[in-house]
Structure 1
């Protein structure tokens, strides 16, 4: 293969970016209709996503009938499909079109009050609804900083980065330098975003209950809280199928402010549960939240320790 010949990964990245640009011109109602068509196919053909979703739902809703959980799994994968189809809209559509698609704002006063008091705001943004629409709104209305890890397909990096930064968001790396940037933003009374349900590397978290079962949970939040006077809120962009989105900001579980990392992590997971309660089908259940428990039981060593500098 010549050096100038594109690789399969390059071609894949170009195809995905082209699809996003095409879908950016569609309305949320159209994208939802496409998701309802594609979602059942994703459920049928994506064995890994289907099985992980169904296992997770059996863990968190054991009292629910199996037929109900299977229906919820189908609905969840339809919403996940919708999120993927909406990425081009969130990143590339004219800003006014995206703003107009946000039909409701709930709990904005939590952010406004914190900033009026001169406090920064830590927004816990779980994988619920369309978190890219949430990023769009936050970076449109507040000085906003979030951590960013480049995608595995390098060709998509400039597309994603430009989409997330276009309304003024500041993206920082997922390393101690990025943590230092978050601390500086909070001390300037700005807002920062954290993904509370992303499983950290060994040494970067603690085991805390998530729906009454232990899940390995990051400890970045208590470190940030301990060194700032920030307020913590949960933020999501809930999809209103066929119409648009509703932004919700929820007061955090008080345990997130605990100095004990396990207590704080328990509060973080409770915040995620509160967000999921808005519409369980809109949570990304295909994420393996309980994987580290199995690794711990099998004696997998701690590979790396993360320190806050």
Structure 2
């Protein structure tokens, strides 16, 4: 539930402090932001027990053949990149658009979006928590009519800032409810682009279990419904960080199973598509997210749940 804050409340003061930090960091050049993240990242790994443990466990699950030292290196790099993403929020939302555009040094696969729209088809962009997804939102909304679902932040006083930052280049944000789904359908029927977070666990009843690196993860089933009603093309989109220099936008063809009317097959294709994007640089994925949480909820009391004991 979103928490409202009065001008004298601690949450209002926290919101003011966060907004000040975003504005300050928005003026920093990308090399400086990366150096700052490189300083803070090791501290996050050392002192943020929850993030470190979940990251280590997820990497152990998805990369069982890697040695402990190799996984530890990826974990440290991952938390450095996650820290960089947090440091870059002000940059993505508040910096002059020309600065952000100049920081996008490469764009790969744009033809996948252009050709789909030329055929009169909408495009569904699967945007996992990889690299800097806010920079991806900036680029998409700068170059295409773009709609994405939006859930207000817990600190209500920050909503105007975040919403303005995400909408300032023309993106339309819609709620995460049936009205929002209807808006996504309309956008696709207009041959526009929409964005979906493919690796965010849905509420019970809104997903199915499908393999993610060989282990079941609860995955949303919105995609096959949208594809069935619009014949949209599906791509995976990421903003790969080029440390200290900028970003490279990549659009990858989604796994063909995403077009299946079978929800489990489609969800399996979604997860395989996320895996393919992670392969660009595993350290840039947000491994501290509890991707297998719903498995644990279902398996409470079962011996198999011990594999995910840190959740």
Instruction: Tell me the TM-score normalized by structure 2.
Output: 0.94
2:191 equivalent to 1:200: no
Q: Give 3-state SS (helix, strand or coil) of 2:261's partner.
A: coil
Q: 2:25 aligns with which of 17, 23, 37?
A: 23
| Shift, 1:45, TM fit | 1.2
Aligned to 1:178: 180
Q: Give 3-state SS (helix, strand or coil) of 1:227's partner.
A: helix
Cα deviation 1:18-45 (Å, max 9, x = unaligned): 1000000111111000000010111111
Do the aligned residues in 1 keep the contact of 2:6 with 2:12 (CA within 8 Å)? no
Counterparts of 1:93-172 in structure 2, within 5 Å, are 93-172=95-174
Q: Give 3-state SS (helix, strand or coil) of 2:231's partner.
A: coil
Do the aligned residues in 1 keep the contact of 2:7 with 2:13 (CA within 8 Å)? no
Aligned to 2:255: 253
| Shift, 1:92, TM fit | 0.3
Aligned to 1:275: 277
Query: CA separation of 1:4/1:93 partners in 2, compared to 1, >3 Å: closer, same or farther?
Result: closer
Kindly report the root-mean-square deviation, in angstroms, between the aligned alpha carbons of the 2 structures: 1.2
| Shift, 1:171, TM fit | 0.1
Measure the CA separation in 1 of the matches of 2:276 and 2:226: 22
Measure the CA separation in 1 of the matches of 2:23 and 2:265: 44
Query: CA separation of 1:134/1:113 partners in 2, compared to 1, >3 Å: closer, same or farther?
Result: same
Q: 2:81 aligns with which of 71, 79, 82?
A: 79
Cα deviation 1:112-153 (Å, max 9, x = unaligned): 000000100000000000000000000000000000000011
Aligned to 2:69: 67
Cα deviation 1:217-258 (Å, max 9, x = unaligned): 000101101111100000000000010000000001000000
Measure the CA separation in 2 of the matches of 1:272 and 1:224: 18
Query: CA separation of 1:5/1:24 partners in 2, compared to 1, >3 Å: closer, same or farther?
Result: closer
| Shift, 1:12, TM fit | 1.1
Return 8-17 or 120-129, whichever deviates more: 8-17
Cα deviation 1:256-306 (Å, max 9, x = unaligned): 00000000000000000000000000000000011101111128xxxxxxx
Measure the CA separation in 1 of the matches of 2:58 and 2:188: 34
Measure the CA separation in 2 of the matches of 1:82 and 1:19: 14
| Shift, 1:4, TM fit | 6.2
Measure the CA separation in 1 of the matches of 2:231 and 2:202: 24
Q: Give 3-state SS (helix, strand or coil) of 2:217's partner.
A: strand
Query: CA separation of 1:215/1:92 partners in 2, compared to 1, >3 Å: closer, same or farther?
Result: same
Measure the CA separation in 2 of the matches of 1:6 and 1:64: 51
Q: 1:240 aligns with which of 234, 239, 242?
A: 242
Unmatched runs of 5 consecutive residues or more in structure 1: 300-309
Residues paired across the two proteins, number: 298
Measure the CA separation in 2 of the matches of 1:16 and 1:4: 16
Unmatched runs of 5 consecutive residues or more in structure 2: 302-311
Divergent runs of 4+, >2 A: none
